Structure formats: structure tokens, C-alpha cells
Amino acid sequence: MEEAGIKCSKEEYLQWFMRNWVGGPLVALQHLVGGALCIPAVLKMGDPRVYSSLACLGIMNEMGFEIQDVIKTLYFFTPAEVPGFALFLIFIHHSLTTCLGLPTILCYRNLSTLHWLCFDLQGAAAVSTFIYEYTKILDVTKRGELKQFLILSWISFLVMLITRFFHWVYLVGEFIFVWYNDKAWAFLVVGTFFLLIFSYFNFAIVLKSMYGRLQKFMKMSAEHDSLPSNFVATGTISIFVAV
């Protein structure tokens, strides 16, 4: 949360978690549905007209979620709950699909790059969010649950690293190449802008914060391993320390 400009105590984070506990699983489910709709397109299963339409539905599913999330954030939350920098990150995160989703559907609905981009972004977000929500309930003062926390966190990080760094860079380059070849100058200028600012969100916010969280708990794991096997820890569960 600190990466988003939100600083709070453990007690404040707990209160926030209790008020918003249902939101995370619902967001993960929405992303899972959106990503699943793109599977036939990325695997080229069946009629291209059908799987392209399903992928476009996945994009529109994400557009609907992001538009309502912006409206909800602006209407329900106060500046104290959502600082300016956090609001800026929300707009960066939602700008890509909200601004480019419909134009790309109208002009590039059959482009496999578009299908892969939708699949990567929503599928990886679903995996990461489900893992994040589950690890909140783990008691990281217990060796077994801390190991489970680390394994799942590594899976989440690697999924994000592949989809939001390596494959993301390839897909962005492919999109820019297509727009340049098509002489679609509006897409090239506007689209490249939104792809670059979303790249900042991927690299500087998502991957950086996930790696920092991993480092924190790997250090905790090393400290646990140095303790006697009969040591009994007491303390907080991971919903506190995952701020």
C-alpha cells in the first residue's frame, strides 16, 4: 500500500481489510472470467469469428469493471482514504482498457496481439489476486504457513514477471509495429502513450512492490530457520504484515 502513497498503521490496515474483504475475491473472479474468454483466441480454437468475439467480450468485461471502479472511487472515497498519488495510479491502471479498448475492438478485433494482451493482463491479475487474498489468512509466525506463503508469493511474482515484463514488452513492440505498418498515426501516438504509462505501472508499482514483499518474507523465513525447532512464535498473521 505504501507504493500507492497510502501510509497506515497495522490497526488502520486491519480496519480497511475488514471493510473491503469481499472486494478482492470479486475482482479476481471478474479478471478470471475476462481472461478465460480469451483462451479460445490465444489457442485459436474453432471459428475465428467466434473466438475473436469472445476475446472482445473479455475486453469489454474489463472496460465495464474499470469504468464502475473509477465511478465508485470518485463517489464513495474521501481524499484521506485515497490520496492523490493513489488516485493517479488508479487512473493509470484503468486508462489502457478504458481509452483503447473500444477503438482496438473496432479496428483490430482479429489481431492475436490484442487477444494475448487481454489474456495476459486479466489472467495474471486473477492468479495474483487470488493468491494475495489467500495469503492474507496465513499465520506467517508458523514455519509451515510461512513456507506456503513464500511458495505462493513466488508463483504470483513469476506469473507477473512473465506476463507483465517479458511478454508485455514483446506485445507492446508488436502493437507499435502493426500501427506503424498500417500508418495508423492516431493509434501510434495515443496508443503508445497509454502503453508506456501502463508499462510504468507494471514495472514501478506492481513488480517492484511484489519483489519487495518477497524480500521481506524471505528475510523472515531465514530468521525462522535460525530459531530452534521447538521455538513457538506468537504474533500477527499475514494480513497485518502484508501492508
Report mean pLDDT in 10-residue bins for the chain, 243 residues.
58 70 88 97 96 97 92 76 73 92 96 97 96 90 90 96 97 97 97 95 92 89 70 44 36
pLDDT of residue 6: 56
Instruction: Give the chain's radius of gyration (CA, Å).
Output: 20
pLDDT of residue 242: 38
In 3D space, the residue among 241, 18, 240, 27 whose CA is nearest the CA of residue 130 turns out to be 27
pLDDT of residue 235: 46
In 3D space, the residue among 146, 148, 161 whose CA is nearest the CA of residue 217 turns out to be 146
pLDDT of residue 180: 97
Other CB atoms closer than 10 Å to residue 30's CB: what's the count? 19
pLDDT of residue 60: 96
- Report the distance separating Cα 171 and Cα 148, nearest Å: 33
* Count of alpha carbons within 13 angstroms of residue 66, beta-carbon side: 22
Q: What's phi and psi for 68, nearest 5 deg?
A: -65, -30
Q: Which amino acid, one-letter code, is at 24?
A: G
